Amino acid sequence: MWERKMIPMNIEIIDYNDLYVSSFAAQLQGSAGFNYLNWVTASQFCLNNETHLDQALIWAEAAISAPFVGVSNFNTLQNKATILMKMGKTTEAEETMMVAVKNPGTTAFEIHQLGRQLVSMGMKDKALEIFKYNHKQFSGIWPTNVGMARGLAATGRYEEALKYAEMAYEEAPDQLNKDAMKDAVEKLKLKQDIN
In tens, the pLDDT along 19-67 reads 899 999 999 999 999 999 999 999 999 999 999 999 999 999 999 999 9
Radius of gyration, CA atoms only, the chain: 22
Handedness of CA 75, 109, 88, 120 (dihedral sign): negative
CB–CB of 188/163 below 8 Å?
A: no
Claim: this prediction has a pTM higher than 0.85:
no
* Residue spans per domain, the chain: 1-106, 107-195
In tens, the pLDDT along 87-145 reads 999 999 999 999 999 999 999 999 999 999 999 989 999 999 999 999 999 988 999 99
CB–CB of 92/116 below 8 Å?
A: no
CATH class of 1-106: mainly alpha
Handedness of CA 185, 147, 108, 68 (dihedral sign): negative
In angstroms, the CA 176 to CA 151 distance is 21
User: Residue 110 has what pLDDT?
Assistant: 97
Check for a shared fold between 1-106 and 107-195. yes
The CATH fold of domain 107-195: 1.25.40
